[in-house]
Amino acid sequence: MSHFDEAYSAVQAALDAGARYADCRIMVRRVESVSARDGDIQNVGSSESAGLGVRALVGSSWGFYAVPDLSDAAARAAGRRAAQIAVASATVPGPPIDLVPAGAIEASWANDCEIDPLEVSLSTKGDLLVEATAAAKAAGSDLAEAVSGVWDTRKWFVSSEGHRIDQHTRECGAGVWASAFGDGEIQRRSWPSYGGQYGTSGWELVDRLDLIGNAPRLAEEARALLSAPLCPTGETTLVLGGEQLALQIHESVGHAIELDRILGWEAAFAGTSWLELDKLGSLRYGSELMNITIDPGIPGALGSFGYDDEGTPATKRDAVRDGIWVGVLAGRDSAAVAGLDYAGSVRSDGWARLPMVRMTNVGLEPGPHTLDEIIANTEDGVFMDVNRSWSIDDRRLNFQFGCEIGYEIKNGKLGRMLRNPTYTGIGPKFWQSMDMLSSETIAWGTPNCGKGQPGQVGHTGHPAAPARFTNVRVGVRG
Amino acid sequence: MSIDIIRTGAELELAARVVELVRQVAGPAAEAEVMVQHDAEALTRFANSMIHQNVADAVTNVRLRLHLDGRTAAGSTTLVDADGLRGLVERTVAAVRLSPPDGTWPGLTPPTPLHHSAGYPGSGERSGLDFGFDEATARATPAERADRVRDFVRAAGGLETAGYCRTTYTSAAFANSAGQSVEGRTAEAAMDGIARIGGADGVARLAGGRLGDLDGSALGARAAAKARAGQSPVELPPGHYEVVLEPEAVADLLDNFAMFGFNGKSYAQQQSFAELGEDQFDPSVTLIDEPLGSRAEPAPGLPFDDEGTPRESLVLVRDGVTKAVAHDRMSAATAGATSTGHASPASRTWGPYPTHVRMEAALAATEPALPPADPSSPVAESARPLVAGMRRGLLITDLWYTRVLDPKTLVITGLTRNGVWLVEDGEVTGAVSNMRFTQSYPQALGPGRVLGIGSESILLPDRWSGTRYAAPALHLASWNLTGNASG
């Protein structure tokens, strides 16, 4: 069933009410979540949501209105309201706004999906999570939890510039974690990552994770961490696993290259960026090993799509090349303000939210090494993996991360397990110290990226591999 | 433009219809609970001193949780026509039959009257429909929000500004197959903005039940004064500093205490620092969750939770002694307690937690008399007596991106934001650049660590509507700053 007609009605109503540009997204989404704890089911939930969101540009002011009603009358009313809200925006005006050109596109897109995740029964999903947590519990975990999530989204997009695009996106993922309680502290180990691994993929992604097989090891490692020595304090050589490096990319590169932040549009909440547009193309972000791409076309990665929420086709673009900052995540209006000629990174987390600049798949191209080679070439240092905590300042410079597990590296070999490993630094200094990078890339999914007011939760992907950094401050404690 | 309908009774009728549909589809043995919630949220956002995003939406969500033959499943929909509701019921019944056994089902809330009238201005006799509800806020127009933004921008006197003005309206009803049936509504307004000059940011924010109480000019002037006073900051070395935290920063403490400390699931799973009956805080500390508001404030939340349990004030900490944690029915059953009315769509997984925490302010009489406030001072009015009593330390406006390093000890790392100043002999002597901290929050407020509390609790919005904090300024003996702009 198509909803192009209703979307067209909303756009036309906004134009009739005075908008010079309008677009409408109609979305029908089903979400399913299952969780288990200590061998028992904890929650089985599903939701269905359908509605439309209209964006209207009157003069140089935007308005947005959304309703959960797909009737033609409701669509027309929403279009008029969006235009009325834009008129109110004009009472506190700014400089003229244009949109970078976008040709009219009529298209249809769906991601590859071997096993439709909504066709996998809830009992199959529940049994998997129950068995995984039971296995962790049997292996000595004080608390074992597991989750799975599925998002099935159908979207119809119409713009006043001739776009008619429908997309069907299926995303899913799962994870398991085990905790051990000690005297006044808790240690946790997760597989395959903090909160689980997710992708724009069918259930085959979850089948490959082997949650049950990994669960006993998590319990044993969490228990062992309770008596492991603390991560030492000081400056050292740091080797990060790929999962942790994915979040490092997300926080200290992905958000920093969002053009709306660079332009100050997020200054009061998410923050700005240390990057200045006049240095685009010349600023050294990292070492020559650092090549970051923006690529919403990676099959299976969580930030993938066919077209963004302004109808721009998915296009691969460099963000950092040989360590030099060369690209941003942009939308049609922000790109025009910045004098750039490309957009393609605007998304909303649902029909009720305004599309805004968001990460797609932002990740590192593979390096020339392997993790084994990196360890073997490190005389003295610390290896950390799997994120436990993250914090970064509002300019995306000063970060501090905690990981679930660490190991000493001595004379080219992994040594003792270390508990409560943390590291801190300043973004460009840290990235410029990267001197070894593995080729063992995985596109890690982050299903919980917060941004915007009202808040939106984005799904992003981050190809990353283990890497080495020098002179990093580790072991920060309270 | 205003909201089409200030709804009364519409959600209750929908909830009852879904309960009846469950009976028809699944039979009388099915235990069903239904929450119908209509949310209208409008947010006018500004940056670079212009309104750049201006949004509104109105959504009715029907949430159904079903327990049948020892199994549980939940579903929700925004489709509220007959087909949509029947689809929700049939989908959830199908899901419950495919679900694994649930040994933790705590049963339904029995018919229980709401806590209303006494102590809550405006509360009505039936179903608590008017817990101080302000209809003008519910009906607020884009023009009214834009007016406040314009006032904020003008009052900043040419400084670059950014922020938002938000109004929300919620009308909701709950019904279950055990006979519980309640309804209520609430409205909230909030404004949050910064002014910026020369790399220095100043902030002002305020929440309340009435849009009419939000003065864009006053907030803009305050943010601008802070920004101007924050220029040319110096970098201080990391270390333990005596601090005065302004209410915006204290709200972050309340947020993390609520989410991780007073969370009934975390408590039951031994992941919380909370130990009931123990002297865990300084004797000056009292924390109360107040979903129904207090004193002259309209109720910020609904008078019942997602399980239909009536809400009321919950004392979390009284005079330094931890008294309670928040529970839904499941965490309460695990802990051998009773629900405190904190069920939410996420409480079964994330855990139930307080959403309207107030830290009690100190009595004004305990403060020394001060000269009239200097309008160019960066010090919040309620923090002035505390700053005056600090020999050497830092005045911190706001905290940012705080994340838990260890849930049990609630060691948190984050950064200062929107203004830090060095205070010497009770006077602000210079701006300081933002710093990173790594600090156990319960330890910071532990016995003997609280040197003073401001005489006014300021209502502050959370980033998500529906959550609010009432925070005074706080003078603490030590705060562990672990990094500065250099790393």
Q: What residues have CB less than 8 Å from B242, skipping those under 6 apart?
A: B390, B391, B392, B393, B394, B451, B475, B476, B477, B478, B479
Mean pLDDT, chain B, as a whole number?
Answer: 91
Distance from CA of A298 to the nearest CA of B (A): 30
Flag whether B2 is in a domain: no
Report chain B residues whose CB lies below 8 A from the CB of A356: 53
Q: At B25, is the secondary structure helix, strand, or coil?
A: helix
The pLDDT of B387-412, averaged and rounded, is: 96
Burial class (CB in 10 A: 0-12, 13-18, 19+), A40: middle
**CATH number of the domain encompassing residue B95:** 3.30.2290.10
Residue A276 in contact with partner chain B when CB distance is under 8 A: no
Residues B220 and B128 in one domain: yes
Q: Residue B66: how many CB atoms within 10 A of its CB?
A: 26
The pLDDT of A460-471, averaged and rounded, is: 98
d(CA B479, CA B443): 10
Residues B186 and B247 in one domain: no
Flag whether B1 is in a domain: no
Flag whether B93 is in a domain: yes
Rg (CA), chain A: 23
**pLDDT number for residue A180:** 97
Residues B348 and B205 in one domain: no
DSSP string, A200-230: BS-THHHHTT-HHHHHHHHHHHHHHHHTSPB
The band of B150, judged by pLDDT with boundaries at 50, 70 and 90, is: very high
Q: What angle do CA A343, A173, A459 make, to 5 degrees?
A: 20
Residues A197 and A62 in one domain: yes
Residues A253 and A209 in one domain: no
For residue B29, which of B64, B86, B70, B76 has the smallest C-alpha distance? B70
ipTM of this predicted structure: 0.95
pLDDT-wise least confident of A183-187, A328-332, A470-474: A183-187
Which of B174, B197, B229 is at the close of a domain? B229
- Number of domains observed in the structure of chain A: 2
Q: What residues have CB less than 8 Å from A224, skipping those under 6 apart?
A: A417
- The more confident residue out of B468 and B98 is B468
CB contact under 8 A, A64 and B55: yes
| φ and ψ of B367, to 5 deg | -95, 145
Taking phi over 0 as left and psi of -120 to 50 as alpha, with beta for the rest, A140 belongs to left
Residues B94 and B212 in one domain: yes
Q: With 80 as the cut, is the pLDDT of residue A46 above it?
A: yes
**pLDDT number for residue A87:** 97
Report chain A residues whose CB lies below 8 A from the CB of B411: 477-478
Tens-place pLDDT, residues A386-435? 999 999 999 999 999 999 999 999 999 999 999 999 999 999 999 999 99
Which of A185, A201, A226 is at the close of a domain? A226
d(CA A370, CA A286): 20
Q: Which residue of A has its CA nearest to B192?
A: A268
- The more confident residue out of A15 and B97 is A15
Which of B229, B264, B286 is at the close of a domain? B229
Q: Which amino acid is at B171?
A: S
Q: Which domain holds residue B21?
A: 10-229
Distance from CA of B131 to the nearest CA of A (A): 25
Q: At B368, is the secondary structure helix, strand, or coil?
A: coil
The pLDDT of B200-226, averaged and rounded, is: 96
Among the partner residues B51, B74, B415, nearest to A398 by beta-carbon distance:
B415
Q: With 70 as the cut, is the pLDDT of residue A76 above it?
A: yes
Report chain B residues whose CB lies below 8 A from the CB of A402: 405, 413
Residues B251 and B216 in one domain: no
The band of B132, judged by pLDDT with boundaries at 50, 70 and 90, is: low
Residues B218 and B77 in one domain: yes
Residues A315 and A217 in one domain: no
Distance from CA of B344 to the nearest CA of A (A): 13
Tens-place pLDDT, residues A370-392? 999 999 999 999 999 999 999 99
Contact B14, B80 (CB under 8 A): yes
Q: What residues have CB less than 8 Å from A213, skipping those under 6 apart?
A: none
The pLDDT of A266-273, averaged and rounded, is: 96
**pLDDT number for residue B123:** 36
Q: CA A160 from chain center: how many Å?
A: 30
Tens-place pLDDT, residues A114-148? 999 999 998 899 999 999 999 999 999 999 999 99
The band of A369, judged by pLDDT with boundaries at 50, 70 and 90, is: very high
**pLDDT number for residue B272:** 96
Which of A226, A257, A278 is at the close of a domain? A226
Residues B260 and B214 in one domain: no
Residues A181 and A293 in one domain: no
CB contact under 8 A, B403 and A86: no
Residues B293 and B191 in one domain: no
Distance from CA of B458 to the nearest CA of A (A): 20
Residues A32 and A75 in one domain: yes
The sign of the dihedral angle between the CA atoms of B125, B126, B127, B129 is negative
The pLDDT of A178-201, averaged and rounded, is: 95
The pLDDT of B132-145, averaged and rounded, is: 91
Among the partner residues A36, A64, A389, nearest to B403 by beta-carbon distance:
A389
Euclidean distance between the first and the last CA atom of chain B, given in angstroms as a whole number = 50
Q: At B129, is the secondary structure helix, strand, or coil?
A: coil
Contact B181, B12 (CB under 8 A): yes
**pLDDT number for residue B6:** 54
Mind spelling out the 3-state secondary structure of B249-269?
HHHHHHHHHHHHHCEHHHHHC
For residue A169, which of A20, A334, A348, A39 has the smallest C-alpha distance? A348
Tens-place pLDDT, residues A293-305? 999 999 999 999 9
d(CA B243, CA B437): 12
Kindly state the percentage of chain A with pLDDT values over 90. Answer: 97
The pLDDT of A88-109, averaged and rounded, is: 95
Residues B333 and B399 in one domain: yes
The pLDDT of B181-193, averaged and rounded, is: 94
Which of A202, A226, A250 is at the close of a domain? A226
Q: With 80 as the cut, is the pLDDT of residue A23 above it?
A: yes
Residues B290 and B435 in one domain: yes
Residues B184 and B330 in one domain: no
The band of A208, judged by pLDDT with boundaries at 50, 70 and 90, is: very high
Residues A222 and A240 in one domain: no
CB contact under 8 A, B401 and A394: yes
For the whole model, what pTM was predicted? 0.95
Kindly state the percentage of chain B with pLDDT values over 90. Answer: 79
CB contact under 8 A, B55 and A84: no
- Number of domains observed in the structure of chain B: 2
Tens-place pLDDT, residues B436-465? 999 999 999 999 999 999 999 999 998 777
d(CA B81, CA A55): 26
User: What torsion, rounded to 10 degrees, do the Cα atoms B411, B414, B419, B423 define?
Assistant: 30
Residues B420 and B358 in one domain: yes
Among the partner residues B54, B98, B164, nearest to A62 by beta-carbon distance:
B54
Q: What angle do CA A205, A211, A214 make, to 5 degrees?
A: 130
Residues A313 and A216 in one domain: no
d(CA A244, CA A404): 10
- The more confident residue out of B346 and B306 is B306
CB contact under 8 A, B91 and A48: yes
Q: With 80 as the cut, is the pLDDT of residue B2 above it?
A: no
Which of B204, B229, B254 is at the close of a domain? B229
Q: Which domain holds residue A401?
A: 234-474
CB contact under 8 A, B147 and A454: no
b vs e for A376-399, b when ≥16 Cβ sit within 10 Å of the residue's Cβ? eebeebbbbbbbbbbbbbbbbbbb
The pLDDT of B293-319, averaged and rounded, is: 87
Rg (CA), chain B: 24
d(CA B451, CA B448): 7
Residues A102 and A160 in one domain: yes
**pLDDT number for residue B463:** 79
Among the partner residues B74, B163, B485, nearest to A44 by beta-carbon distance:
B74
Burial class (CB in 10 A: 0-12, 13-18, 19+), A114: exposed
Flag whether B3 is in a domain: no
The band of A478, judged by pLDDT with boundaries at 50, 70 and 90, is: confident
Give strand pairing partners of B76: A47, B63
The band of B366, judged by pLDDT with boundaries at 50, 70 and 90, is: low
For residue B228, which of B370, B374, B371, B392 has the smallest C-alpha distance? B374
Strand pairing report for A380-392 and A234-240:
parallel
Flag whether B64 is in a domain: yes
Q: At B203, is the secondary structure helix, strand, or coil?
A: strand
